[in-house]
Structures are given as C-alpha cells and as structure tokens.
C-alpha cells in the first residue's frame, strides 16, 4: 500500500512543521531539502497540508495570503506550491494541497450519503485517517515525499494534522519518517542578543504531541552562535549536527547551500541510505550569475494593483529575476501603482509587465501602460488581464473609443473583453474558472512562435473572460495581431505587435511554469529585449 510503484521500495516521508510564529520559512526549508534530494537522483514529491477551513485557495485575499498558484491540472493553491515547483523543477498536482475545509467537506458528504453507516464521525480517527490517505495518495510513484504542515504547532486548528503525521509513522514504520521542525530565534535589540526560549517552548509543544523532531531548523534575523544551536539540541534531545541555523539571507535560492554545509546532509544520507553527492552544478551556476554585478542594469515597471505585497506576484518577480541572471544583467523592479500610473512613471523604466488580476480597480492604468508601450515601442509583457487590457488599448487606438471589458461594465458594442459562455453565473464561486493547462496553436512565423520554438504550446490558465473576436478588426487597426489561439480557434490565447521590438501578451500564466534553472522563454526574451 505504501510502496513506490516504480521502485517497489517503501516510500520515505519527511514532515516539516513550524513553531513560534507563522511565516517562519517552512516552505523554503521543505523545498530546499527537496531540491537536494532530487539532486541526489531521487523521485521527490511535495505536499502542503493547511489548517484553513477554506475548500480551495481561489477566494483567499491575495494581500493577506499572497499569490494564488494554479497547478497544471487546474487546482487553485497556496503560493508554497510555487516554491516547490521552482526549487524542484517539477509539477505539483491536485493531490499536492490538502486543506481542512476540503477534508471536512469530504467527511460530511460521506456521512450524508450513508458512508459511515450511522456511526459517530470524529476527528480521531476519521479526520486523521483521511489526512493520512491524502498523504499516501500524493506520494504515489515517489521515492521521497515531503509534507509541509501549515500554521504553527500548538494552533488549535492544526492539531489534527499533527496527530495525523504522528500516527502515520505507525503505518509506514518509524524508519521511513523524518520530522523537521522549523523554529524562530528572535533578536532583542534592547539586550543585543538572540533568545532561545520561544524555540524551546515550541519544541516542548511538539514533544507534548508525541513527536520528537529528528532535525531542528533555527530561523533568525542574524547568525546564531554554534553554542546556542548546541543548547537547543540538548533541549530537543537530538545530536548537535541535527540543529541547523538559517539566518536571513539575500536570496532563498542560497538556502540549499546552507543545508549542504550543515550536518543535516549526513542525517538525510542516513535516512535515505544514499551517500551520493548531490549534483548542484546548475544551482551553483545560477548562484554565481545571480550574485554577480553586471555592467548592464535593466529597469522593469510592474504595473499592478497590489503594490504593497510582493508575494501577490511572486511567480512573476521570480521569473524576471531568474531571466535577468541568465541574461547577465542587473534587474531593478519598479512597482507602478496601476490606479495612479502616468506616462511619467512609464518613461522611467526600460520595459513594462502587466500581470494578471481581477476587478476594475487599476484597469485604466494598465490600459495606459499598454497604450504607452505600443506608441513608444517599449517592451511589453502582458499576462492574463495584461493581455485583455492590451487588447482594449489596441481597440481604442483602432477607433473603438469606448472599448472596455464586460467585467468592468462594458456593454454590447464596447465589450472587447467578455465573459466566457460557460462562466456565466459563476463569477462569485471558487474553483470554477478556466483553470490549469490548455493547449494553444501559434501562428507560423510570428514572434511568439519564434520565442517558443514551436507552434504548439500548453500553458496554465486562470480566467473567466476572453477576447471578443468581433473586435479583432479594431484590435488589428490598433497595432496588435492574434499570434495564438485555442486549437479550435474560438479563444484568443496570444497577441503581439508586428512592429514593436517586443510586445507579447497571453491569456495564460506562463509565470507558473518558469523555474530559476529553467526560465520560461517569454521572460527570457522579454529581458533580452531590454539589453
């Protein structure tokens, strides 16, 4: 039941939990461990278990929770899955996210349909058993499965997940489970010292729930003395080399190297039985390029509604940063508030990116950005809403002065962007958009096809609205041509400007498929056009 289908050997499980406070870095820690294990040749999968009562992440406030990441098979998820994909260069799926709300819904539906035959439904064993089943399902075909438990150990809503992963060791054997606990060591400016008491209390909580961590990761604002880590090791009852200090650093992509330098690598070797050195050559090359000061600096204007939280557009910014590194240029991202954007803002940057989003707020600023880029031959990359607003901008230039989006109130004769037929009536419900991978056919000889190096592509989507093809004449008069459609030709997937140096926009979200070691070609070419 728990054996890997390919190797016929028991799958190994690594559970990553957090203490003291949320946002301590569990996702990056888990992803870094995964990257190292993949570099050792393992088939690695990852999963996020989150205690939110939400059924999916599509309706979560992006300001509070950051970006809504979409898997290739069409599930709206937590942004940590984006970290997993970037670090491991693989694809997560619908089994890679488990939310409390979804677990409760499944249990209730089973109970209402008579699936429990009148028995009392309880947190233990029913909730915890179902969590374990989700973990087992997500680990299929993997040699090592890493599970991040969201929230903070001790939080009421997360206790059932902690109990589930404790019980999981009984199912698969203690030798097949490794527990990593991430804690925070605060710096007190008044006494000029780091304090371990919150970490000690977090470890005590974990022990109280029946789990003794095999590895403790100490996050801190600045490096912690080795003797402090030894103190925590004694308190936790584990060897000193099993305590790793991860202070704040400039780039999360250096975290795998910090793990490699620690005694944690030996622990992973003993746990897996594999002492092979991980092949980190590409990581090292990326680190070298990213850390170098280049002669050329490019400035990218990100025209967005949420300018106070970089996590809202983290896949976009990470794709830009990686593309800059491989193109051997320095990158400066200029955040441009779409609600107040002016030509003066656009003139300060070398290129413009308009990311996805919803709602009328800031829409006119995004249209202004596309118009400016068309008129001034400024490189432009439009993503999802960024393509829609580019089409509106082109239609207005093509004499459709009142062109707009139905999402923002545009009526017949003005709705250059209108709602998809199968999306009508679903505007307020989660998980119902056009989500996940969809194919597109690119126009032969187009700039877009040349960038991809093929005329057949697949990209991830998240939208309800599309280009109204009744306005294609106006859009073309305004300077844009359709460079890619759905295979049946009914949906516009890509547009470009034949005259501009670089002006490409897509209804898709290519940023979801961009990796630091395998950058998406649209981002690579966009940055290249700025050099």
In whole angstroms, what is the distance from residue 395 CA to residue 474 CA? Answer: 5
In whole angstroms, what is the distance from residue 36 CA to residue 22 CA? Answer: 24
The closest alpha carbon to 252, from 18, 503, 32, belongs to 32
Q: Is 218 a catalytic residue?
A: no
Phi, psi of 431 (to 5 degrees): 70, 20
The length of the chain, given as a count of residues:
531
In whole angstroms, what is the distance from residue 240 CA to residue 234 CA? Answer: 8
Kindly calculate the radius of gyration of the chain based on its CA atoms and give it in whole angstroms.
25
In whole angstroms, what is the distance from residue 170 CA to residue 128 CA? Answer: 13
In whole angstroms, what is the distance from residue 383 CA to residue 393 CA? Answer: 15
Distances (CA, A) of 354 to 68, 115, 313, 380: 17, 48, 10, 8
Reading the block at residue 326, the tokens are 């491989």
Reading the block at residue 454, the tokens are 């093929």
In the three-class reduction of DSSP (H, G, I as helix; E, B as strand; rest coil), residue 455 is classed as: coil
- Residue 448 pairs in a beta bridge with none
- 157-161 contact pairs (CB < 8 A, 24+): 157/51, 157/52, 157/53, 157/100, 158/51, 159/209, 160/51, 160/100, 160/123, 160/124, 160/127, 160/128, 160/131, 161/49, 161/51, 161/100, 161/131
Phi, psi of 513 (to 5 degrees): -105, 5
Name the catalytic one among 318, 384, 391, 496.
384
Q: Is 509 a catalytic residue?
A: yes
In whole angstroms, what is the distance from residue 322 CA to residue 319 CA? Answer: 5
Phi, psi of 268 (to 5 degrees): -65, -40
State the chain's maximal CA–CA distance in angstroms.
Answer: 74
Reading the block at residue 277, the tokens are 């050195």
In whole angstroms, what is the distance from residue 109 CA to residue 103 CA? Answer: 10
Contact 496, 480 (CB under 8 A): yes
Reading the block at residue 79, the tokens are 């942004």
In whole angstroms, what is the distance from residue 402 CA to residue 203 CA? Answer: 61
Q: Is 126 a catalytic residue?
A: no
Name the catalytic one among 406, 466, 511, 525.
511
Helix, strand, coil in percent for the chain, rounding step 5: 40, 25, 35
Name the catalytic one among 126, 463, 509, 520.
509
In whole angstroms, what is the distance from residue 203 CA to residue 291 CA? Answer: 35
Lay out the sheet containing 297-304: strands in order across.
330-337, 297-304, 351-354, 380-383, 503-506, 492-496, 481-485, 434-442, 456-463
Contact 131, 161 (CB under 8 A): yes
Q: Is 151 left (phi over 0), alpha (psi -120 to 50) or beta?
A: left
Q: What is the DSSP letter of 483?
A: E
Provide the annotated active-site residues. 384, 509, 511
């Amino acid at each position: 039941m728990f054996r890997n289908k390919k190797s016929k050997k028991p799958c190994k499980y690594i559970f990553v939990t957090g203490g003291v406070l949320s946002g301590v870095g569990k996702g990056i820690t888990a992803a870094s461990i995964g990257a190292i294990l993949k570099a050792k040749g393992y088939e690695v999968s990852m999963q996020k278990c989150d205690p939110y009562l939400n059924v999916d992440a599509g309706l979560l406030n992006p300001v509070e929770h950051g970006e809504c990441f979409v898997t290739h098979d069409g599930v709206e998820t937590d942004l940590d899955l984006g970290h997993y994909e970037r670090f491991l260069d693989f694809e997560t799926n619908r089994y890679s996210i488990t939310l409390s709300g979804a677990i409760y819904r499944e249990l209730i539906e089973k109970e209402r349909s008579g699936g429990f035959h009148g028995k009392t439904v309880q947190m233990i064993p029913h909730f915890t058993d179902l969590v374990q089943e989700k973990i087992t399902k997500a680990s299929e075909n993997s040699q090592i499965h890493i599970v991040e438990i969201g929230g903070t150990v001790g939080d009421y809503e997360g206790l059932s997940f902690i109990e589930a992963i404790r019980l999981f060791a009984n199912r698969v054997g203690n030798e097949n489970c490794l527990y990593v606990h991430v804690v925070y060591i605060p710096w007190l400016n008044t006494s000029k010292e780091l304090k371990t008491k919150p970490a000690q209390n977090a470890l005590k909580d974990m022990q109280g729930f029946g789990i003794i961590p095999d590895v403790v990761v100490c996050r801190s604002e600045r490096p912690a003395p080795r003797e402090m880590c030894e103190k925590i090791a004694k308190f936790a009852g584990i060897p000193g080399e099993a305590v790793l200090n991860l202070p704040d650093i400039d780039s999360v992509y250096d975290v795998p190297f910090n793990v490699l330098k620690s005694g944690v690598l030996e622990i992973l070797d003993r746990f897996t039985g594999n002492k092979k050195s991980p092949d980190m050559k590409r990581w090292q090359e990326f680190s070298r390029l990213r850390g170098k000061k280049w002669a050329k600096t490019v400035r990218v204007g990100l025209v967005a509604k949420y300018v106070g939280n970089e996590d809202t557009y983290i896949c976009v910014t990470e794709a830009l940063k990686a593309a800059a590194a491989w193109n051997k240029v320095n990158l400066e991202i200029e955040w441009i508030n779409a609600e107040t954007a002016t030509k003066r803002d656009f003139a300060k940057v070398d290129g413009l990116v308009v990311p996805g989003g919803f709602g009328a707020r800031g829409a006119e600023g995004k249209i202004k950005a596309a118009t400016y880029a068309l008129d001034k031959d400024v490189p432009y990359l439009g993503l999802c809403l960024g393509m829609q607003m580019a089409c509106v901008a082109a239609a207005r230039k093509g004499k459709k002065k009142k062109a707009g989006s139905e999402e923002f109130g545009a009526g017949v004769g003005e709705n250059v962007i209108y709602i998809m037929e199968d999306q009508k009536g679903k505007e307020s419900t989660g998980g119902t958009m056009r989500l996940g991978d969809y194919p597109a056919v690119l126009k032969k000889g187009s700039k877009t096809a040349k960038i991809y190096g093929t005329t057949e592509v697949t990209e991830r989507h998240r939208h309800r609205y599309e280009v109204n093809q009744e306005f294609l004449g106006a859009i073309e008069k305004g300077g844009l041509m359709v460079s890619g459609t759905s295979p049946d030709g009914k949906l516009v997937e890509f547009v470009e400007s034949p005259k501009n140096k670089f002006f490409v926009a897509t209804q898709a979200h290519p940023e979801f498929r961009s990796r630091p070691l395998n950058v998406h070609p649209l981002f690579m070419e966009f940055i290249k056009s700025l050099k």
